[in-house]
Amino acid sequence: MDLLNTLVDKGLRRELPTREEALAVLATSDDDLLDVVAAAGKVRRHWFGRRVKLNYLVNLKSGLCPEDCSYCSQRLGSDTGILKYTWLKPEQASQAAAAGLAGGAKRVCLVASGRGPTDRDVDRVAGTIKAIKEQNEGVEVCACLGLLSDGQAERLREAGADAYNHNLNTSESTYGEITTTHTYADRVDTVTKAHAAGLSACSGLIAGMGETDEDLVDVVFSLRELDPDSVPVNFLIPVEGTPLAKEWNLTPQRCLRILAMVRFVCPDVEVRIAGGREVHLRTMQPLALNLANSIFLGDYLTTEGQAGKADLEMIADAGFEVEGADQVTLPEHRATAGGGCGSHAESGCGSHEDAGCGSHAGGGVCGTAAAATATATEARTDLVAVRRRGAGTDLAPNA
């Protein structure tokens, strides 16, 4: 297929595909799916070999959020039955992180619900970062605390944070349909602040909210322009009690095409399969490792994920290897541009000259009827389980 040959060549040169080419990937048939995966897999292996980076989420503060994001179980006024608790103490967060690190994770992602941190919250998280780093040499720490005010990114960097996550979630044109309490521009501003402070920026999307192909391409092209080092691709987990609980628009094949498109547009960045892989990729998860070079280990913020042991077995059985703490995730041209992830060089982590790409949230909710029909799938509510273990509980996590 000429399209795939062209996309492979562009991916190996870090050249941006056209919008038409990106849309064509999403429009490929199931008969061509293995060819699409094989082509994107060439680009993934060229830049990342067969390494899979493991990341581990610690939910520092669950629920109690004033924002109204339609996809989120922690949203304002939600009745989802999730765990709700205020800030974990540094020693509690460090203990939670240790479980993931023992399972093979090299990055700990510290997440707190809310619009954004107060300065006191930043101090609190700084103490948590210190506790985790003192007990785990070489660990990467990413903070995800919402919208940042001036100076807060710099303070997190000084505290030892290596990265900051803030997802764009969906296209700018449809953002107002999923959230009204803040804007798309607010999110772009926070990613920009993280970059400017020398933090490795992490920003991605959520697919499966009824978005059109055009919405998906719009957000991924916007991410490439923002140039994060890491791009999490979330697949909507339709949690009962949220406005999008009935949105079951994804098939495993659709998910694979989306991941392939992201890889072609963002060839040399860490593409991470994030929330929802167990729900929507299901038995096709191992195939997705040919497209993404990073996953979350174990549970998510408010829902259960695949057991950590099963994640490790999946990686090994698929012929991949877990990335070690002594290995640099990013290709040399990106890592050296900012001194590597975890480095506090002035330019941060990632090459900005190529307008690279960088995302728990997803596409718009204004998908066309044709798109919804083409991707309709059975509602697998049996695969959605609220987290009742790990951080904020007395039970061990499944890392």
Q: Report, as residue numbers or ranges, the catalytic residues.
A: 65, 69, 72, 109, 142, 202, 272
* Residues making up the binding site: 65, 69, 72, 109, 142, 202, 272
Furthest CA-CA distance within the chain: 56
Candidates 113, 32, 109, 59; CA nearest to 388 is 59
What does the angle CA 123 – CA 124 – CA 129 come to, to the nearest 5 degrees? 95
Secondary structure (3-state) at 344 = coil
What is d(CA 307, CA 399) in angstroms, rounded to the nearest whole number? 6
* Residues making up the binding site for [4Fe-4S] cluster: 65, 69, 72
Residue 270 backbone phi and psi in degrees, to 5:
-70, 110
* Backbone region of residue 2 per phi and psi (left: phi > 0; alpha: psi in -120 to 50; beta: other values): alpha
Query: Cβ neighbours of residue 136 under 8 Å, at least 6 residues apart?
Result: 97, 98, 101, 108
* Residues making up the binding site for [2Fe-2S] cluster: 109, 142, 202, 272
Contact call for residues 349 and 164 (beta carbons, < 8 A): no
Secondary structure (3-state) at 102 = helix
Token reading at 344: 């506090």
